[in-house]
Amino acid sequence: MPEALLTVKNLSVDFHTARGTVHAVRNVSWSVNRGETLAILGESGSGKSVSASAVMNLLDTPPAEIVSGEIFHEGKELLKISYEEHRALNGKKIAMIFQDPLGHLNPVYTVGWQIVEMMTAHGRPIEMARARALELVTRVGIPEPEKALKKYPHQFSGGQRQRLMIAMALMLKPDILIADEPTTALDVTVQAEVLALLKELQQETGMALVLITHDLGVVAEIADRVVVMSEGEIVEEGTAREVYHKPRHAYTRKLIGAAPGKGDIRQPGPEASVLLEVSGLEKTYGNFTALKDAAFTLARGQSLAVVGESGSGKSTLARTILRLEQADKGTALWKGRDLITMPQRDLLAIRQQIQMVFQDPTQSLNPRMSVYQLISEGWEIHGLMPDRKARRARVEELLEQVELLPSHCDRYPHQFSGGQRQRIAIARALALEPELIICDEAVSALDVSVQAQVMALLDDLRAKLGISYLFIAHDLGVVRDFADTVLVMKEGEIVEQGSTEAIFSAPQHPYTQRLLAANLDPDPDIQAQRARSGRAAP
């Protein structure tokens, strides 16, 4: 067997923190060949980025310590060469791009300067670097490339910034490109474009691509082989198809099982009375129209999903209904009374009936309040349940309802994991026995397996308590599993609405079609099939 282009062998890395030593990765081995795409798949805390950081010499020691292992590249052992030798290799032979291109580009220099620096740092003449930069920026599809080079990172969109990062990484024609969650912060349609670009460039240059991701869909779309990591260890490896269709390890099976978008589409229930009727809702910020003529109805016990990409106005819709922001125009009738024009005093009483669950529970729970204080605050505000004993009992009951322990009452939010925190936030919403819960990207910050549990909990509450949901999301898989009806938003407008079945099987608006096409399926076969038909179609 010929030697691979890059081989990581039995790598173990510890992190020494004030709270003790963490084994970040243990005995990790993988290799990648020229022209191949290897995906390293794992959830947060799995240690999936650590080996790549070791390859790039980006681990800070301390706190990190490389306990054992070897990394081979073209006959060199990368853990043994000098700092200077490693520096000469970085960017030239092995390049890397990151999740958040805004943070990873220096804000005070032009992108042109930063791209050119990739070559000048390795001693190439500046004229040559400029010519190459222009060529590559054109290649990655940035409009007006000459002007673009003189601009600063904040003047580009997220997708464009990632393209610029890719152009920078390719300046010296590296053998290997490591991409750490390159599309996680991007909208689905942009994600599809960036992945397609990476694929094309790999075919053109024949480089090896190491892609670190948490997303089965990305793996299915782009990877040849995949290694699955859990708690610092590789639990499974194989081709993307093998791993998806014949997972051997329990963790992989759990991960695949948790991927949303595979269950039956919900069928609309019997006609119910209208709870919320929104019409003509508008909101502008200066010249920017955030929300334009929004209209829909929500029935009792119904789940209405609002999907759209960032900046589509879906959060503004929720915030204006809740009067966190004042709408410019329009009405939102709650059981026949208009929330938008209602005086503050009356609104207070209605706040009890509509609750909200926010995207990031780390931020939506006051860090200085205990779980008991957090959950019981609503009663204090509304003067309910004056009896302390009864309150305590009810808080414990609610904690059990969201599958936490009654003994968690006196703990503080930072002592819980992300998924547990979101359950606390849900328990807080439930405490006031609301009729409607607005979920603003309530599961998108969570790992897939945790996300599945939280979704199951929400679904269960709907069945038991008859709660309605206004469910804002960008993940179409989650929406497909959960919603009765779907609104599709784009640039502040509702471009299409209908039953989940209708939207997913027969989308009418071109944007909806594009959104659905860009949504990645976790099954590599389905992705391959889509790619073939996609290529044949135009």
Partner 1 sequence: MSDSTAVKPVSQDQNKGASALLGMLWRDKFAFVSAIVLLIIMAFAIFGPALLGDLATSQNLRGRNSPPFDLSRGWIFVLGGDSLGRPILARLIVAAQSTMAVAAGAVATALVIGAFFGLIAGYMGKTASQIIMRLADVIMSFPSLLLAVVVLYVLGPSIPNMILVLAITRIPIYLRTTRAEVLEVRERMFVQAAVVMGASHRRIVLRHILPVIAPTLITIATLDFAFVMLAESSLSFLGIGIQPPSITWGLMVSQGRPYLNTAWWLAFWPGLMIVITALSLNLLSNWMRVALDPAQRWRLESRKSTDA
Partner 2 sequence: MIKLVGQRAIASLLSLSVLMVMVFFLSRLTGDPAALFLPIDATEQMKEQFRALHGLDRPILEQFGLYIRDVLHLDFGESLRRARPAIDIVLEAYAWTLPLALITMALVIVAAIFLGSIAAFNVGGVIDRGISVVSLIGASAPDFWIAIVAIVVFAINLAWLPTSGVGTPWHWIMPVGILFIRPFGLIVQVVRGSMLSALSAPYVKTARAKGVKNGPLIFVHTLRNAMLPVITVIGDQAAALLNGAVIVETIFGFPGVGKLMIDSILQRDFNVVMAAILVTAIAIFIMNILIDIAYSILDPRIRQ
Residues in contact with partner 1 by CB under 8 A are 15-22, 24, 43-50, 99, 181, 184, 214, 322, 324, 347-349, 351-352, 354-356, 358-360, 363-368, 377-378, 381-382, 410-412, 414-418, 425, 428, 432
Is the distance from CB of 193 to CB of 203 less than 8 angstroms?
Answer: no
Report the partner that residue 58 touches, choosing among partner 1, partner 2, none (CB closer than 5 to 8 A by kind). Answer: partner 2
Among 54, 78, 96, 365, binds partner 2 (CB under 8 A): 96
Minimum CB distance to partner 2 smaller for 95 or for 327 = 95
Report the partner that residue 435 touches, choosing among partner 2, partner 1, none (CB closer than 5 to 8 A by kind). Answer: none
Q: Which stretch binds partner 2 (CB under 8 A): 91-99, 222-230, 267-275, 382-390?
A: 91-99
Strand partners, 303: 469
Report the partner that residue 352 touches, choosing among partner 2, partner 1, none (CB closer than 5 to 8 A by kind). Answer: partner 1
Cα separation, 310 vs 115, whole angstroms: 27
User: Within 13 A of 2's CA, how many CA atoms are on the CB side?
Assistant: 6
Among 4, 66, 67, 88, binds partner 2 (CB under 8 A): 88
State yes or no: residue 89 binds partner 2 (CB under 8 A).
yes
Q: How far is CA 498 from CA 233, 280, 487, 492, in A?
A: 44, 18, 7, 18
Q: Say how many C-beta atoms besides its own lie within 10 A of residue 10's C-beta.
A: 12
Is the distance from CB of 109 to CB of 150 less than 8 angstroms?
Answer: no
State yes or no: residue 57 binds partner 2 (CB under 8 A).
yes
Cα separation, 205 vs 35, whole angstroms: 8
User: Within 13 A of 330's CA, how many CA atoms are on the CB side?
Assistant: 22
Q: Where are the alpha helices (DSSP H) in 12-82?
A: 50-55
Who contacts 141 (Cβ-Cβ below 8 Å, separation ≥6)? 163, 197
State yes or no: residue 208 binds partner 2 (CB under 8 A).
no
Minimum CB distance to partner 1 smaller for 355 or for 512 = 355
Among 107, 143, 386, 538, binds partner 2 (CB under 8 A): 107
Report the partner that residue 57 touches, choosing among partner 1, partner 2, none (CB closer than 5 to 8 A by kind). Answer: partner 2
x-or-dash pattern for partner 2, window 210-239, by CB under 8 A? ------------------------------
Is the distance from CB of 209 to CB of 39 less than 8 angstroms?
Answer: no
x-or-dash pattern for partner 2, window 346-385, by CB under 8 A? ----------------------------------------
Q: How far is CA 53 from CA 97, 254, 410, in A?
A: 11, 27, 39
State yes or no: residue 291 binds partner 2 (CB under 8 A).
no
Report the partner that residue 372 touches, choosing among partner 2, partner 1, none (CB closer than 5 to 8 A by kind). Answer: none
Joined together, the tokens standing for residue 486 give 């779907």
State yes or no: residue 403 binds partner 2 (CB under 8 A).
no
Cα separation, 333 vs 273, whole angstroms: 13
State yes or no: residue 133 binds partner 2 (CB under 8 A).
no
Report the partner that residue 22 touches, choosing among partner 1, partner 2, none (CB closer than 5 to 8 A by kind). Answer: partner 1
Report the partner that residue 47 touches, choosing among partner 1, partner 2, none (CB closer than 5 to 8 A by kind). Answer: partner 1
Min dist CB 303 to partner 1, Å, is 19
Long-range contacts of range 197-200, CB-CB < 8 Å, 24 or more positions apart? 197/140, 197/141, 197/163, 197/166, 198/166, 198/222
Is the distance from CB of 226 to CB of 243 less than 8 angstroms?
Answer: yes
Cα separation, 366 vs 373, whole angstroms: 10
Is the distance from CB of 170 to CB of 95 less than 8 angstroms?
Answer: yes
Min dist CB 218 to partner 2, Å, is 21
State yes or no: residue 61 binds partner 2 (CB under 8 A).
no
Is the distance from CB of 162 to CB of 179 less than 8 angstroms?
Answer: no
x-or-dash pattern for partner 2, window 147-186, by CB under 8 A? -----x-x----------x--x------------------
State yes or no: residue 106 binds partner 2 (CB under 8 A).
yes
Minimum CB distance to partner 1 smaller for 42 or for 145 = 42
State yes or no: residue 66 binds partner 2 (CB under 8 A).
no
Report the partner that residue 89 touches, choosing among partner 1, partner 2, none (CB closer than 5 to 8 A by kind). Answer: partner 2
For residue 268, say if its preceding peptide bond is cis, omega within 30 degrees of 0: no
Who contacts 370 (Cβ-Cβ below 8 Å, separation ≥6)? 409, 410, 411, 412
- For 337, the 3-state DSSP assignment is strand
Quote the distance between the C-alpha of residue 338 and its chain's center: 35
Min dist CB 527 to partner 1, Å, is 22
Binding site for partner 2 (CB under 8 A): 56-58, 87-92, 95-96, 98, 100, 103-108, 110, 117-118, 121-122, 152, 154, 165, 168
